[in-house]
């Protein structure tokens, strides 16, 4: 707890360009959470170097992501938005937690298996202990809740195991985090293969709408979106392509699927795709404008980055000092 609020932590990697899926499924829903929770959103750049990165590009992407957090509506006065690498406590706690994590547990992580298959020439120890760093992120802030996608639930589970193991030895040091299952946005699917989720690492650029796509590109991608053969706008299992477009249109306009079916009764896919494209353009436009303004205001952003890192560090150090004491490190002279 911080004050009378529960703590929420989440992070995103600055790899790849954010998609409409990331926005509708995560970012957009994060905006209102600060009323109920004390929120920390990190750009997890320590995690990013588990696969090889171009340094200039990583720096640029990390800044872009942090700027996008703000452009998407996260108020940096109410949410702590910071770079993981600016708070050294993440790495320090990760080391300690490494000594409370078993090889066998890490060996079972499916993301490690997937990523080592994908990067067979660089199976480094960081990739293996990635979940321990993630545990450190969460436990450092004594987070009660963590909004994550399904693919990260296994990492949240190991975080809980590590925390419980530590607490069993040293007393109640860590809050045991729960996955955040509140109001989550729709799962947005690929525009080209609607049985696969829209993902920023998809190699086919037509499959994903990126938050920085210009209106023409957005409209073109929706025109080319794979649809089904029924020819009518109906929300059903047999039409995964149309269902996805209805989900997107609904998320952008606030309309229900029944309202959307009614709106497009008797109309073909062409009209519907245009409307979906336009609704996405309407959502992205203000976000892109805000992004451009923020990017120009270097002094403002730098100030936010510094202020928020200091705030994160304050809470991180509280936990870290407690943990260091518990495991038996000598106290510092005051
Ligand atoms: P990658 O392709 O690199 O795995 P990703 O696009 O799948 O990335 P993540 O970084 O894994 O995205 O996820 C960031 C957040 O966005 C998570 O909270 C996740 O649940 C959400 N998210 C990602 N893709 C979608 C999607 N298609 N629909 C809804 N939410 C999504
Ligand atoms: N592994 C996560 C990103 C991440 C994270 C976290 C999410 C790193 N640390 C802590 C929630 C809490 C991912 O790739 N989506």
What sections of the chain are H helices per DSSP? Answer: 20-22, 28-30, 45-48, 55-71, 89-98, 103-107, 110-118, 125-128, 130-140, 153-170, 215-223, 240-253, 257-263, 269-296, 298-327
Domain boundaries, the chain: 6-180+298-327, 215-293
Q: What confidence score (pLDDT) does residue 183 get?
A: 65
The side-by-side arrangement of strands in the sheet containing 145-146 is 79-83, 37-43, 6-12, 145-146, 178-179
Ligand 2 probe mutation, 40, 48, 132, 134, most atoms within 8 A of CB: 134
- Share of residues in the chain with pLDDT > 70 (%): 99
Nearest atom in ligand 2 to 149's CA: 15
- pLDDT tens for 95-107 read 999 999 999 999 9
pTM for this prediction: 0.92
Is the distance from CB of 221 to CB of 28 less than 8 angstroms?
Answer: no
Q: In whole angstroms, give the CA distance from residue 211 to residue 297.
A: 20
Q: What confidence score (pLDDT) does residue 328 get?
A: 98
Q: In whole angstroms, give the CA distance from residue 145 to residue 148.
A: 10
> CB-side exposure of 59: number of CA atoms within 13 Å?
2
Q: Which of 32, 132, 19 is nearest to 78 (CA)?
A: 32
> CB-side exposure of 270: number of CA atoms within 13 Å?
0
39-48, 112-121, 155-164, 179-188: least confident range: 179-188
Assigned fold of 6-180+298-327: Rossmann fold (3.40.50)
Distance of alpha carbon 235 from the chain centroid = 28
DSSP label at residue 175 = P
Residues catalogued as catalytic: 115, 197, 200
Q: Which CATH superfamily is domain 215-293 in?
A: Tyrosyl-Transfer RNA Synthetase (1.10.240.10)
Is the distance from CB of 233 to CB of 242 less than 8 angstroms?
Answer: yes
- pLDDT tens for 239-295 read 999 999 999 999 999 999 999 999 999 998 999 999 999 999 999 999 999 999 999
Instruction: Kindly give, in sequence order, each residue whose CB lies less than 8 Å from that of residue 214, ignoring residues fewer than 6 positions away.
Output: none
Q: What confidence score (pLDDT) does residue 298 get?
A: 96
Q: What confidence score (pLDDT) does residue 2 get?
A: 93
- pLDDT tens for 4-58 read 999 999 999 988 789 999 999 889 989 999 999 999 999 999 999 999 999 999 9
Q: What angle do CA 324, 308, 35 make, to 5 degrees?
A: 100
Give yes or no for residue 194 CB within 6 A of ligand 1: no
Give yes or no for residue 93 CB within 6 A of ligand 2: no
């Amino acid at each position: 707890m911080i004050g009378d609020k529960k703590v929420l932590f989440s992070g995103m990697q600055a790899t790849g360009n954010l998609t409409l899926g990331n926005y509708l499924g995560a970012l957009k829903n994060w905006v209102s959470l600060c009323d109920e929770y004390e929120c920390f959103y990190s750009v997890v750049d320590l995690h990013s170097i588990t696969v090889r990165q171009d340094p200039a590009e990583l720096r640029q992407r990390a800044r872009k992501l942090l700027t996008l957090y703000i452009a998407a509506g996260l108020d940096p006065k109410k949410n702590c938005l910071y770079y993981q690498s600016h708070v050294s406590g993440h790495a320090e706690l990760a080391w300690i937690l490494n000594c409370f994590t078993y090889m066998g547990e890490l060996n079972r992580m499916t993301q490690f298996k997937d990523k080592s298959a994908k990067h067979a020439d660089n199976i480094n120890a960081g990739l293996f202990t990635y979940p321990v760093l993630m545990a450190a992120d969460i436990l450092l802030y004594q987070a009660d809740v963590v909004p994550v996608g399904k693919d990260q639930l296994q990492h949240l589970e190991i975080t809980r195991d590590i925390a419980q193991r530590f607490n069993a030895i040293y007393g109640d040091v860590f809050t045991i985090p729960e996955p955040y299952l509140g109001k989550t946005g729709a799962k947005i699917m690929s525009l080209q293969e609607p049985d696969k989720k829209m993902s920023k690492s998809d190699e086919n650029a037509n499959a994903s709408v990126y938050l920085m796509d210009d209106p023409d590109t957005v409209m073109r991608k929706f025109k080319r979106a794979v649809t089904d053969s029924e020819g009518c706008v109906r929300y059903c299992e047999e039409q995964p392509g149309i269902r996805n477009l209805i989900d997107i249109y609904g998320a952008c306009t606030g309309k229900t699927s029944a309202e959307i079916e009614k709106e497009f009764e008797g109309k073909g896919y062409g009209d519907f795709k245009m409307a979906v494209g336009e609704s996405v353009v309407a959502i992205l436009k203000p976000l892109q404008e805000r992004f451009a303004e923020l990017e120009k205001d270097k002094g403002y952003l730098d100030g936010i980055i510094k202020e928020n890192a200091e705030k994160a560090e304050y809470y991180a150090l509280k936990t870290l000092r407690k943990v260091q004491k518990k495991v038996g490190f000598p106290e510092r002279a005051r």
